[in-house]
Each structure stands twice: as C-alpha cells, then as structure tokens.
Chains A and B, each alone.
Chain A
Amino acid sequence: MSAATLEARLGQRWRKPPFIRNNLLRWAMAAGVFAYLILAIGSFDVNWARVNEGLVRGWLFIKAFMSPDFLSRSIEIREGMLESVIITITSTVVGVLISIPIGLGAARNIAPLPVYLICRGIITLSRALNEIIVAILMVAIFGFGPLAGFITLSFATIGFLSKLLAEDIEDMDKAQAEAIRATGSSWMQWINYGVQPQVMPRLIGLSMYRLDINFRESAILGLVGAGGIGATLNTAFDRYEFDTAAAILIIIIVTVMVLEYLSGFIRAWVQ
C-alpha cells in the first residue's frame, strides 16, 4: 500500500486504523471484556430492599454532615486525634531514618548484589502487605495500643520511601557522582557529596508526602486496636452516632488538607 496513488484512494472509505490491528484478536478481546463485565456485575448480590432502607440512613448521615457533633464525645475525639498525630509523626521520622540506608542498599548502582537483594526483599514485603494486615499481626504480637500502630506505619514507610529513594539514586546524574569519586573520596564522602545533594530535595518532598499518607492510614489503625482516632470512629458508626462520625471525618479531611498545603509549601521551599 506504500505507493497508493491518489486515484486509488479517491472514493474509498476511510477508517481510523484500530488500536489492535488483528481483527480476530480485537473481537475476542472485546467479547472477553464484555463477558467479564456481565459476570462480574452479576456477582454482586444486591439486597435492594436493604439498600432502600439504607438510603434513609444515608440521608441521615448527609444531614449529620451539616450539623456535626464535636462536643458530646469531645474527650474521646481529642485523645484519638492526639494519638493519631503522635503515631504519624513518630512513624514518619523513624521510617524515613531507616529507609535511607535501605534505599541506598536497594540502588543497584551503589550497593553490592547481596545487599541489594536483601534490601529489595524488605521493600517488596513491606509494599505487598497492606497496612491493616500488618497492624493485625503487630497487635497480636505487641498487644493493643499505639506501639503496634507506630511499628506498622514505620514498616509501611520503609517500603514506600526506600523504593522511591532507590529509584531516584539509580536515575541520578552519573557525571556528578563520578566527578566526586575522581577526587579520591571515601565511600561515605562520595555518598555525602556526590549522591546526597542530588537526592535530598526529593527525599524531603517524599517524606512530607508520606507524612500525609501516614496520617490518613493512622485513622484506620484503630479499627484493629492499633491506636488512633479509628477506634472512636468505629464506635461512633457502631452506635449509629452519625453526627459524631461526621465530626471525626470532617476533622480528618481538614487535617489532610492542611497537611497537603503544608507539604506543598515545604516542597516548594526546599526546591
């Protein structure tokens, strides 16, 4: 078709070339997707009577958002929030401190192979396990309370931050690092002068971002007894105290917004 003349093209239909060129494959995929959708949607057994009943309660909840009740459980809310914030701060600090060596170890251009494999293993494990599952295990091992939450989130922070840090180090500008190495520096000096300046701004940005995530996650730890506002929230839902629940959710949303604003500010300031 490369040398098609104008005459051959005139009067011919024109269609956009399809994304998948093979006709059979295209139709098979379309049919497969369609069949899956039917099966999957069919698998949800919806009890419409119950949902209908729920709509009334849903409406009550939305109304509760208009008149949230901060007062009747103010002591529990204050305690829970304080605990959440404390877990967030401590786990972020400890998590960041531990993820720096692990991040260095997981960067293929710096670390020797055995160290690399161990560090990558830790990262994969941490990322694959959902926070709440880790929290359950930690509660089982260390007992109820904020310590379990703190360990959980520190562990999650390590997986998140080390991975991004390692990728960042792997992508860094080789020329700068080589220039420092060429001065005859030791390994520590090399990391300090050749690597750290390149990765530091992003590390701070990511730590702020993780602080934000840790706060959001700390709100659910209480569901399994690992401390924080989640326990209060769970109780509120159990007792159908929607106005208290709404108050807690509003506090969470506002805190997240403030944190996001703050982290954006700090990131802009660092770079």
Chain B
Amino acid sequence: MGAIMPVSTNTAGKKVWQLRNRNETLTRWFCFLVLVATFMWCWKYISDATTWFFVWDAPNIAADIGSRAFPPRWSYMDKLWGPIWDTLNIATIGTVLALIIAVPVAFLAARNTTPSTLFIRPIALLIIVSTRSINSLIWALLLVAIIGPGTFAGLIAIAIRSIGFCAKLLYEAIEEIDHKQVEAITATGASRMQIMIYAIAPQILPAFAGISVFRWDINIRESTVLGLVGAGGIGLQLQSSLNTLAWPQVTLILTVILVAVVIGEWVSAKVRGAII
C-alpha cells in the first residue's frame, strides 16, 4: 500500500512523519542509482583507455617538468611583444566585427522585433545556435584550412564564434524590454526605424555594453590559444616552445597569458561598473 501523505500510520498505529512519501523516495533512489551506475560505467571506460603506469609516474613527471620550467626565460619576452599585440587585436577587432553582425541578427531573432516569426526568426536562431555551439578553436581550425594560417584566420574565428553568443544575450534583452515605452513612441506616429532608435535602443544599451565587454574578456582568453592551430597570436609561440620542449619559455608564456587574462578581467569589470 503506497502512502500518499507524508504523514502515514505505521504498523503500531502511530502517525509517522516523513519528508517524502514512499513513491517519491523510491524514485529518488532509482535516479540516484542510475546516476551512479552511469558514472561507474563511464569511469571504467576512461580507466580502460588509460595507461595507469604513466599515471602512477605522474608526480615524478610533474616534478621533472616543474624543475625544468623554472626559472622562466625572461629574455624571451622581447619576442613576445608582437604576438601580444596581435592577440589583443584579434580579441578586440573580433569582438567589434561580431557585434556589427550580432545586432541585426538579434533584432531578427527577438520575438517582438522580428519581421516574420515563421520564416526569418528560425534562420536567425539557426545562425545563433550554429555559431555558438562550435568552439572558436574549431572555427580557427576550419578557417586555417580555408584561408591559410595567420592572424586573419584567428580574427574571423573569434568573430564568428562571438556572433551567436552576443546575439543570443542581446535578443533575450530585446525580448525583455518594457513594451509600454515602445507603445508610447509608436503612438506619436514614429516609423519602424524611429521606434527602434528611440524606444528599443535606449532600453537595451546597458545590456549591449555589458555583453560587449563580457565577450571581449572571453575573447582575450580564447585568442591566446588560437595559435595552437596556427591562427596567430601568442599561442603560436606557445606551440613552438612546446614542440621544442623549451619549458622555461612555456612558463614565461603562461605567465604572460595569466597576466593578460587578469588585466582583461579587471578592465571589463571596471568598464561594466562604469556603465551600470
């Protein structure tokens, strides 16, 4: 007999309170069991694919790498300024390019501004999903194959990856605007474009600024590794240092990347604070 209420009568005839009734408890245990079983199966797969001998040796290897990696080779810094500049440009110009495309896409994707829910909105959403689902490194890989290695491929990769990200956040912001302000501007006899710039743009401007800076911050991180697939920036130096096992240089490059990321995060936090 399944107890419906959390309060049930036990065999001795006394009322017992439980947090959940029996069916719920069973369902929970079942879900938990499935989760554990799945995890164990997955873990077995990983375990089978791993050479455990190397893993047991890992502390030694890590210590070995660590001892070779220090101190960083500071003199290598001279060769890094150029790549750092490239990395910054890839991130910044990539963000700008992405925003230029993301704004119209967002307007076409938002339910309240799209010209056609049936036809144009799905296309805009498809653009957003497909650019967003694929990592910028994969875009870089693809673009290096298509237009050859270099910073230009990195720029386009960062731009494409950012379109979906920015457009998604932006169209959600557009859908959340206060409709009354739009109605008021419409009632003055304003045209579609005027409604856009007077009623919608001021409302989404803070979101837009926040999104741009947020994405720029992420793009700084991502553009540091694009070089691994040949798409320019400081990642190129990282790749070549790794290939030649020049660990002191690797340490220096990783330090530079860390500093760049921290500065990027600091700048974006400052700018966002100033806007909002």
Contact = CB atoms under 8 A, between A and B. Distances in A.
Instruction: Please determine if A and B sit in direct contact within the complex, based on CB atoms under 8 angstroms apart.
Output: yes
Given A93-B39, A130-B225, A216 B145 contact: no
A142 B58 contact: yes
A61 B160 CA distance: 16
A141 B58 contact: yes
B221 interface: yes
Interface stretch (B9-17, B112-120, B183-191, B257-265): B257-265
Interface stretch (A24-32, A105-113, A170-178, A220-228): A220-228
B89 A141 contact: no
A198 interface: no
Chain A contact surface mostly: helix
Interface residues on A, range: 35 or more
Contacts of B254: 129, 133
A252 B133 contact: yes
Interface in B141-173: 141-142, 145-148, 150-152, 155
A120 to B, nearest CB: 13
A146 B50 contact: yes
A220 B138 contact: yes
Contacts of A245: 142
A224 B243 CA distance: 12
A89 B50 CA distance: 17
Nearest to B228: A132
B146 A58 contact: yes
A43 B150 CA distance: 11
Interface of A: 36-37, 40-41, 43-47, 50-51, 54, 57-58, 61, 82-83, 86-87, 89-90, 93, 128-130, 132-133, 136, 140-143, 145-147, 150, 216-217, 219-220, 223-224, 227, 230, 233-234, 237-238, 240, 245, 249, 252-253, 256-257
